[in-house]
Amino acid sequence: MINPLSLVAAAVAVVVGIRCAILGCKRPASSSSVEIAPGVRMPLVLNGMSTDHGLWLASGGRGIDTAFLYGDELQRHVASGIAASGVEREEVFVTIKVNCCPTDRCSRFCAHPPRPTSAPPMSVYNGSEMLEHSLAMTGQRYVDLALLHFPCSSWDDTLAMYRDLEAARDRGLARAIGVSNFNASALKRLLRHARTKPAVVQNALSVAGHPAPHRGEGTACSEGAPLYGSDDATLRFARRHRITFAAYSPLGSISRVDVLGHPVVREVAAAHGKTPAQVALKWLVQQGIAAVTNTARPKHAAEALDLGSFTLSAREMRALSKAR
């Protein structure tokens, strides 16, 4: 029987091959990554919820970010993109996020899980089992970084899920582990009890509005609020404890921040002959913060991966940091 995933990978391979023939498949810059754990380097720009990771890899991108909660279809796009790219697996950095249900927030995902109706409830899965499912969907034997997507509804459950990730790392399923949507106080509590310090904390963060102008309370997934660690206090805590900060929603699409229209961002972009998106991403990576963007367009991928061609001055960095 023919595997449908193989057919998809073959089709993507043709498209990627044509792109490479026309545009040339680029290689990433050696300085475009950060060491998050001994021997583990993470690209400073990653592609998130995309349906075309093959394009990202052909453009020179090497970081891909996905999650159990994104559902099987989006995770399969990771598998087809990598398989069709011709890029060696060791050159690609894959992040997978697993979650607990119920969560402390964003529990609407638990009410409507993107899973087959025949599957057991997500609450019966531990972190290792979820990771194994995501590995199967993405076609990987291991993941470079496994994150706990949100804190659980109880601290005991949160610590149990994190210990599942520690066990997964010990088994070779993950090269490094970390958390997402944890604020400074949650990180501090985790450090007191965890056996392994999180290598990465991935929270919403962007220029021109962090935290976002909402509190993020309740179950509505209002990312960008201090409750989710999208603030300078969490960033300072992470730096003090040598935890790499990764920013999702770097252009404000999820946190509902008008990054691209902010006058300071546009002014700096005009001065460098770059796009507002490039300036917003550069503001992050120049601080050593990884940016998880999302694109399936060649022009946007090329722009996101062309951040080494300019440098923001200290004055510009200060102005962007103060922009609200």
* Amino acid making up residue 33: S
Q: Residue 233 in contact with residue 226, Cβ under 8 Å?
A: yes
Identify the pLDDT of residue 16. 43
Asked if the structure places residue 33 within a domain, the reply is no
Return d(Cα 247, Cα 206) in angstroms, integer. Answer: 7
Place of tokens 């003090």: 240
Asked if the structure places residue 91 within a domain, the reply is yes
Asked if the structure places residue 182 within a domain, the reply is yes
Number of domains in the chain: 1
Which of 233, 245, 236 lies closest to 203 in space, CA to CA? Answer: 245
Q: Establish how many alpha carbons lie within 13 A of residue 21's alpha carbon, considering only the half-sphere containing its beta carbon.
A: 6
Return d(Cα 22, Cα 85) in angstroms, integer. Answer: 15
Listed in sequence order, the residues at least 6 apart from 289 whose beta carbon sits closer than 8 Å to its beta carbon are 44, 205, 235, 245, 246, 247
| DSSP string across 145-199 | EEEE-S-BSSHHHHHHHHHHHHHHHHTTSEEEEEEES--HHHHHHHHHH-SS--S
Identify the pLDDT of residue 226. 77
pLDDT in tens, the chain (324 residues): 434 444 443 444 444 444 444 444 455 543 489 999 999 999 999 999 888 899 999 999 999 999 998 889 999 999 999 998 889 999 999 999 998 877 777 766 665 445 545 555 555 558 888 899 999 999 999 999 999 999 988 899 999 999 999 999 999 999 999 999 999 999 999 999 999 999 999 999 999 877 766 665 555 566 777 778 889 999 999 999 999 999 999 998 787 788 999 999 999 999 999 999 999 999 999 999 999 999 888 999 999 999 999 999 999 999 999 987
Asked if the structure places residue 16 within a domain, the reply is no
Return d(Cα 166, Cα 164) in angstroms, integer. Answer: 5
Asked if the structure places residue 265 within a domain, the reply is yes
Distances from the Cα of 136 to the Cα of 58, 78, 88, 131, 149, angstroms: 23, 11, 18, 9, 18
CA quadruple 297, 302, 303, 309: dihedral, nearest 10:
180
| Helix, strand or coil, per DSSP, at residue 160 | helix
Return d(Cα 175, Cα 156) in angstroms, integer. Answer: 24
Asked if the structure places residue 21 within a domain, the reply is no
Q: Tell me which residue range forms the domain holding 95.
A: 38-323
Q: Residue 177 in contact with residue 147, Cβ under 8 Å?
A: yes
Return d(Cα 84, Cα 10) in angstroms, integer. Answer: 7
Asked if the structure places residue 25 within a domain, the reply is no
CA quadruple 89, 47, 173, 178: dihedral, nearest 10:
140
Place of tokens 């006058």: 263
Show the CA angle centred on residue 207, arms to residues 153 and 74, nearest 5°: 55
Return d(Cα 196, Cα 164) in angstroms, integer. Answer: 11
CATH of residue 79's domain is 3.20.20.100
Asked if the structure places residue 2 within a domain, the reply is no
Q: What pTM did the predictor assign?
A: 0.86
